[in-house]
Amino acid sequence: MPYIARWGIIATGWISEQFFVDLLVDPASRGVTDIVHKPVAVASRSLAKATKFIADHGKGIDGVRAYGSYADLVADPDVDIVYVGTPHSSHYEVSLQALKAGKHVLCEKILTINAAQARHLADYAKSHDLFIMEAVWTRFFPLSLELRKKLHDENAIGAIRRVTADVGFVAVPDIKSRLYDPFLAGGALFDVGVYPMAWIQMICYHHPENKKSPPSMIKSSMVKSRLTGVDESTVITMVWDELHIISVSTCSIVVDSPKDCAIRVQGDRGEVIIPSPTYRPVKFTIRIYGSEGKEDDVKTYDFPIPGPMGFFWEADAVARDIRDGKIVDDNYSIEESVSLMERFDQVRQENGLKYPAEIEFVGESDGIA
């Protein structure tokens, strides 16, 4: 019998839509038979929106309840796992609210605004035996797992020496847009900066020879919007002493990722190239350098995504963790999220990127109803 994961979806924006639709994809289409995903509730701060969300996206399924408050959803005894798809600025409060109601949590990236908030969530979950994970879906793609195998187990390109990873897109500069709004923690770093960092973490931090050491050095630079002061482009360079690797992570909301080579992993025998979009790549290429007079050996590996987006792989992992009584995911632990938030704190401090105190607070709040 497959395990049935019963999901409650909080917020009805674009990302929740994508996640919801992905939950409904038949797991067999991706070769999964041990898990079934069952959305049981959707909450918005407007009941009408929740109802419309279910009507629009829940065709063919029954019994999904609509709630006009997050509090009502987290109180629903049928919900095992709460998916938090609110804007960044309320991830902390909403996740905490769900944990306090005794629910497991999958919270969209970026997990929180600062490391103190992330630490609070991690500690609360741990002390209450609850699961929590930041929804960095890309880490759960078969492509990502296969790349790690090739790089780490098969040593496909020899010793890795440099990793460059980029995620960027062109946003319309608009003071009213979420991406430009400091109150919603807008900017490149918090919107997409987690992706190049995720690749570098997968490749360097999780490298067996790194023994889960943090980078020995981190330096960062930003160009900030003249409109609202959020970061338009950010560059984070890290040195991994144990591995002798330098990594460069770039993100932007004013320039697109290079289509052809958004991620490049360079080793002493060859390189790996991943075209954009690096939040949802569908192939990678391994080039093994030819020796004197010999051609390079170039192979491309395709990983088609059997569904609209591909959020389901992380959903599968979360469901299995909960089925198995785990409160921390092996692939992406909440401790790793906390440590990334510490680095983002450092990057923001180094570059004077401040968000309003309202979204930086830690501790109890009145909650978001």
Interface residue list for a second copy (CB under 8 A): 161-162, 164, 170, 217, 219-223, 226, 232-233, 235, 237-239, 244-246, 248, 250, 252, 254-256, 258, 260-261, 264, 266-268, 271, 289
- Complex with a second copy: residue 22 or 271, whichever CB lies closer: 271
- Complex with a second copy: residue 213 or 237, whichever CB lies closer: 237
- Cα separation, 94 vs 96, in Å, equals 5
User: Which one-letter amino acid corresponds to residue 119?
Assistant: R
Short-list 282, 257, 286, CA closest to 272: 286
Q: Least distance (Å) from a second copy to the CB of residue 231?
A: 10
- Complex with a second copy: residue 252 or 278, whichever CB lies closer: 252
Q: Strand, helix or coil at 342?
A: helix
Sign, Cα dihedral of 180, 186, 191, 193? positive
Q: Which residue has the tokens 């600025």?
A: 89
- Complex with a second copy: residue 5 or 163, whichever CB lies closer: 163
Q: Least distance (Å) from a second copy to the CB of residue 266?
A: 4
Q: Least distance (Å) from a second copy to the CB of residue 137?
A: 26
The burial of 126, by beta-carbon neighbours within 10 Å (0-12 exposed, 13-18 middle, 19 or more buried), is given as middle
Q: Which residue has the tokens 């980078």?
A: 215
Q: Least distance (Å) from a second copy to the CB of residue 113?
A: 23
CB atoms within 10 A of CB 38: 16
Q: Least distance (Å) from a second copy to the CB of residue 319?
A: 39
- Cα separation, 337 vs 20, in Å, equals 23
DSSP letter string over 98-133?
HHHTT-EEEEESS--SSHHHHHHHHHHHHHTT--EE
- Complex with a second copy: residue 284 or 311, whichever CB lies closer: 284
Strands 104-108 and 35-43: unpaired
In the chain, count of helices (H) and strands (E)? 11, 14
Q: Strand, helix or coil at 240?
A: strand
Q: Least distance (Å) from a second copy to the CB of residue 336?
A: 22
Q: Least distance (Å) from a second copy to the CB of residue 285?
A: 12
- Complex with a second copy: residue 144 or 234, whichever CB lies closer: 234
Structure tokens, 239 = 């040195």
- Complex with a second copy: residue 317 or 347, whichever CB lies closer: 347
